[in-house]
Structure 1
Amino acid sequence: MRYHGSCHCGRVAFDVEGELDQVIDCNCSHCSRKGYLLWFVPRGQLELATPEADMATYTFNKHAIEHRFCPQCGCAPLAFGTAPDGQSMAAINARCLEGLDLAALKRVPVDGRSF
């Protein structure tokens, strides 16, 4: 299935392809404060409508994940990183996808505070 997502003001926009049936509910200091529900997909399944140069980037801890956010509205709809097997990944904030019933998704708790 194809989903459209964006930040609050729409300046950062994207489409992503895949089967979304569960999300990661991480308890790390960053995800828990922002309320992220993350869907990880291979980077090739994400199509940006916004040039990467138009997004701001935040990293923390081991600086392994590039959290991208809109410099206009501050909303953070996605992040980029690398899976343990070396594959480029995108972490999609499911809360930023249009027309999605979040209550229908399985939430998988992850103890990110221990990483």
Structure 2
Amino acid sequence: MIYQGSCHCGRVAYEVEGDIQGALACNCSMCQRKGSLLWFVPRAQFRLRTPEDAAATYTFNKHVIKHRFCPTCGIHPYAEGIDSKGNAMAAINLRCIDGLDLAAIPVREFNGRDS
């Protein structure tokens, strides 16, 4: 299935293809503050519908994850990084996908604070 998502103002918009089996709720200092519910997909399944430079980037700690956010409305719709096998990945904030029933998606807690 192809999903459409964006930040609040629409300056950063994307589509992503895949089957949402669940979400991850991380308690690291960044994710806990954002309240993201993350769905990880291969980067090839993710396509920006707006220019790359519409999103700003924030990195912290080990600087391996590019937390992408809209500089206009402040929403963090996705992040980019590399998985443990060296594959490019996108971490999609499910709260930014249009029309999802978030209550129907199982959520797994991840202790990112101690990772």
TM-score where L is the length of structure 2: 0.98
Q: How does 1:34-113 map to 2 (within 5 A)?
A: 34-113=34-113
Q: Secondary structure at the match of 2:16?
A: strand
Amino acid at match of 2:98: E
2:23 matched residue in structure 1: 23
Residue ranges of structure 1 left out of the alignment (5+ in a row): none
Residue 83 of structure 1 aligns to which amino acid in structure 2? D
Q: Which amino acid aligns with 1:58?
A: Y
Corresponding letter in the other structure for 2:65: I
> Residue by residue, what CA displacement relative to the aligned partner does 1:5-31 show, whole Å, maximum 9, x if unpaired?
000000100000000020001011110
3-state SS in 2 of match to 1:85: coil
Rounded to whole Å, the distance in 1 between the matches of 2:57 and 2:10 is 17
> Aligned to 2:25, what secondary structure does the other structure show?
strand
State the match for 1:32 in structure 2.
32
- Structure 1 residue 98, shift from structure 2 partner: 0.3
- 2:6 counterpart residue number: 6
1:92, distance to aligned residue in structure 2 (A): 0.2
Return the alpha-carbon distance in structure 1 between the equivalents of residues 47 and 63 of structure 2: 23
3-state SS of 2:33 partner: helix
Moved over 2 A (4+): none
C-alpha RMSD of the superposition: 0.6
Q: List alignment gaps of at least 5 residues for structure 2.
A: none
Sequence identity (%)? 60
> Any idea what SS the aligned residue of 2:75 has?
coil
Deviation by residue 1:59-79 (Cα, 9 ceiling, x = unmatched): 111111000001111111000
Please report the TM-score for the alignment, with normalisation by the length of structure 1: 0.98
